[in-house]
Structure 1
């Protein structure tokens, strides 16, 4: 069976990149990230949990109203490679159903929790029509609170046309990630990058 494609970045002729967030929506942190993007007229892609979509539909609706994209990040954030193929399918199906119920739009990409996958999961993603989205700046480990300077510096080293950058807006203290975004977004725009959604970036892929 055909496997879904995995993207860490997109080969593009345009000066575009995508900033993505995992684990929301979160009522404390997500609105603070949204304010930064609103200030600079930029867009992001949020890989959301089905459980958090259920808990915080109002936050999700604001994200959608402000033009951001939603990606599937599973229903309950399990280690997907440890699940059966049927369980993997159910995780993606439940999350997709909730996203559609809350914002009326189907997600078009998937990011596996912990970035873990196996052949079964890639086959399931292909059935859903989901490319699998990773990122270039994984060494930031922003979820582990390594310091704002570390997050910014590691990310800067991975900035180029077509980069996919990963941060977290859900669970725990996201203050360092927020501080890094407040530095990086205006900096990237000043450098001439346009911050777009994953779907917009994928649409510019060249061979």
Structure 2
């Protein structure tokens, strides 16, 4: 949907602004100046005939391979800052995937259970990834995927405070991060294919070689042959989607 935004967005790393690390004061319900639109929690896509493949926990070694396996289709990568590897070690790969039209969102800096963190700890996890996005791509994300799917009122308030629009969960989990076999993961996609044209929002994990080289190629071939369009999450939300970043 937003394949051409990158041409106007790249900035020189050295000239990128720094974000303040200090967390703002906790929200005061009597202070209307702090009021923002509530963050939308998304459990599934809404456009029939579309599947959003999403990939957590990167960047690591296989994001480019996943992009190649998609064969022109689009996906969404929810990136950590320092999980399997540091995000700053993968600037070229992230920019190339962005140029190809894939969407990126935040997955927190270090994959902590953010539903269990304090106000200040949540902001620390968020601002570090935002700064990385600004340095690498020129803008900050407004889409978020919580590690472990863990959400709290504190996390939601912090996301609202920082201008996020959507928290993406999922309709199906392949189980790759839990050690599910490739056969089991393919079974998840068989069930999705059999449900055409119902929409789906699928959780995968990009740092796993079996996901990149076995599950994803299988899923792409199967779902396309069944008539599905593979899209990024901003597209599969239809009229509820938006440009997934903020300058």
- What's the TM-score, normalizing by structure 1? 0.87
Equivalent positions of 1:84-95 (< 5 A) are: 84-95=118-129
1:92-144 CA-to-partner distances (Å, cap 9, x unmatched) read 12211211210223322100111111111112222222311011112x21113
Are residues 1:163 and 2:195 paired?
no
Q: Distance in 2 between matches of 1:154 and 1:53?
A: 30
**Could you tell me whether the CA contact under 8 Å between 2:51 and 2:230 is conserved in 1?**
yes
Q: Where does the alignment leave 5 or more consecutive residues of structure 2 unmatched?
A: 1-28, 30-36, 242-247
Question: What corresponds to 1:81 in structure 2?
Answer: 115
Question: What corresponds to 1:108 in structure 2?
Answer: 142
Q: Where does the alignment leave 5 or more consecutive residues of structure 1 unmatched?
A: none
Q: Distance in 1 between matches of 2:119 and 2:73?
A: 37
**Could you tell me whether the CA contact under 8 Å between 2:111 and 2:147 is conserved in 1?**
yes
1:67 maps to which of 101, 122, 126 = 101
The structure whose Rg is larger is: 2
SS across alignment from 2:112: coil
Give how far 1:188 is off: 0.9
Question: What corresponds to 1:31 in structure 2?
Answer: 64
Question: What corresponds to 1:22 in structure 2?
Answer: 56
Equivalent positions of 1:1-207 (< 5 A) are: 3-12=38-47, 14-26=48-60, 28-37=61-70, 39=71, 41-51=72-82, 52-127=86-161, 128-138=163-173, 140-158=174-192, 161-170=198-207, 173-176=208-211, 178-205=213-240
> 1 or 2 for the larger relative contact order (CA 8 Å, sep ≥6)?
1
Give how far 1:176 is off: 4.2
Larger proportion of helix: 1
Give how far 1:90 is off: 2.2
Give how far 1:158 is off: 4.2
Number of equivalent positions = 199
Distance 1:76 1:118, change over 3 A: same
Q: Distance in 1 between matches of 2:75 and 2:142?
A: 14
Moved more, 156-165 or 114-123: 156-165
